[in-house]
Amino acid sequence: MEKFTVLIESRPFCAFDDTPMEQLKNSGMDLLDMRGSGVQDPKFVEALNRVDAILCGNDLVVNEGLLDMAPRVKAIAKMGAGLDTVDIAAATRHNAVVFHTPGANNQAVADHTFALILNVARKIIYCDRSLRENRWEHTKIMGLEIWQKTLGLIGLGAIGRCVALRAKGFQMKVVAYDPFWPTEFADEQGIEQLEIAELLKASDIISIHVPLIPETKGMIYEKTLGLMKPSAILINAARGGIVNEADLYQALKNKVIAGAGLDVFENEPPTGSALLELDNVVLTPHTAAFTFEGMNNMSEGVVSQLIEYYQGNKPVHTVNSVAWDTEMA
């Protein structure tokens, strides 16, 4: 009987702690450690032909073409909550069970969101650069207070709720939009439910916490940016593509809004992006989830589910149950 073979692609997997890797090694599965590789590597493509599962991160696009190169694959183990790099429908057609690790990096992303808010509001990056360039702009650089301001959350899921709780420490008023409204949490925290247009008009800071799906792609563009206050700040630590970056550049350049903080981009890395030219935007390289704790949580979560799958049990965060049901049948 051939061994069950796992191709490990995800670069962040076990970046700080090898314990989950040791658990995999002791599980009885065969491992092909190709972290940091991809379809540009002929050895990686060859390996796809003989593996039963792929443990992937955000770099690998799992689509019909890749699955055609991996005829034996029956499990896609995705580190992180985001599934925009995995074609769920294609995986289901190939009878491949997809599972991920929602919740593993909620606190990390919420922390990073507030780091962006404070950096943009108080122009921390600009101040640091100014001082290093021997400019003492002591009375010239003016920031914005976030205390008692209105925070608008587009998405009140797990991460959005963590951000809302942090906002309470700044005595902010929190309003939110979410088609799947968490009534109990919102009532407990006094969060007002608004439609998108109302939220954009009312908020001093807008923070995005929704997945990249057809309904959210490009939802922040020229028209919606025009609804925001001239003093408003936009934060996106969710997924690139939700914000139209060309329209955002014009809105920032022409002072339609005051500033923005982005951790994610339409194209990553954002080489040549016009946003790099602006002083009223803070940019980070998709690092919101990258804390010691967050990375360890994701590694542990994906391994525990992969072992469950290997032992014949349905992973707790399976996203295409029909593939599991087909396999069981």
Report the chain's mean pLDDT, rounded to a whole number: 96
Please give the Cα distance from 231 to 258 (Å, whole number). 5
Say which of 286, 300, 308, 327 is annotated catalytic: 286
Contact 155, 191 (CB under 8 A): no
Helix axes 124-132, 106-122, angle to 10 degrees: 60
Together in a domain, 124 and 251? yes
Together in a domain, 324 and 249? no
Q: Tell me how crowded residue 42 is: count the other CB atoms within 10 A of its CB.
A: 8
What phi, psi does 58 have (nearest 5°)?
-85, -10
Q: Is 268 a catalytic residue?
A: yes
Together in a domain, 98 and 148? no
Taking only the tens place, the pLDDT of each residue in 15-37 is: 889 999 999 999 999 999 999 99
Please give the Cα distance from 17 to 9 (Å, whole number). 17
Taking only the tens place, the pLDDT of each residue in 292-301 is: 999 999 999 9
Mean pLDDT on 178-200: 97
Helix axes 106-122, 292-310, angle to 10 degrees: 150
Residue 128 tokens, joined: 């640091």
Give the confidence band of 329 by pLDDT, cuts at 50, 70, 90.
confident
User: For residue 198, is pLDDT > 60?
Assistant: yes
What phi, psi does 306 have (nearest 5°)?
-65, -40
Q: Is 239 a catalytic residue?
A: yes
Q: What is the three-class DSSP state of 33?
A: strand
Domain that holds residue 172: 106-283
Together in a domain, 41 and 96? yes
- Indicate the DSSP class of residue 191: P
Helix axes 158-168, 106-122, angle to 10 degrees: 50
Together in a domain, 220 and 120? yes
Together in a domain, 92 and 224? no
Mean pLDDT on 207-232: 97
* Number of structural domains in the chain: 2
Continuous segment of H or E residues that includes residue 283: strand 281-283
Q: Residue 212: what pLDDT?
A: 92
Q: Residue 222: what pLDDT?
A: 98
Please give the Cα distance from 211 to 206 (Å, whole number). 16
Residue 300 tokens, joined: 């542990």
Residue 227 tokens, joined: 């609804």
Give the confidence band of 254 by pLDDT, cuts at 50, 70, 90.
very high
CATH of the domain at 10: 3.40.50.720
Residue 295 tokens, joined: 């990375």
User: For residue 2, is pLDDT > 80?
Assistant: no
Mean pLDDT on 65-78: 97
Taking only the tens place, the pLDDT of each residue in 153-165 is: 999 999 999 999 9
Taking only the tens place, the pLDDT of each residue in 135-151 is: 999 999 999 999 999 99
- What global pTM score does this model have? 0.89
Q: Is 286 a catalytic residue?
A: yes
Give the confidence band of 183 by pLDDT, cuts at 50, 70, 90.
very high
Together in a domain, 71 and 178? no
Contact 87, 63 (CB under 8 A): yes
Say which of 100, 112, 239, 317 is annotated catalytic: 239
Say which of 46, 64, 145, 268 is annotated catalytic: 268
Taking only the tens place, the pLDDT of each residue in 280-322 is: 999 999 999 999 999 999 999 999 999 999 999 999 999 999 9
Smallest CA-to-CA distance from 87 within 71, 79, 76 is with: 76
Residue 82 tokens, joined: 């985001």
Taking only the tens place, the pLDDT of each residue in 74-98 is: 999 999 988 999 999 999 999 999 9
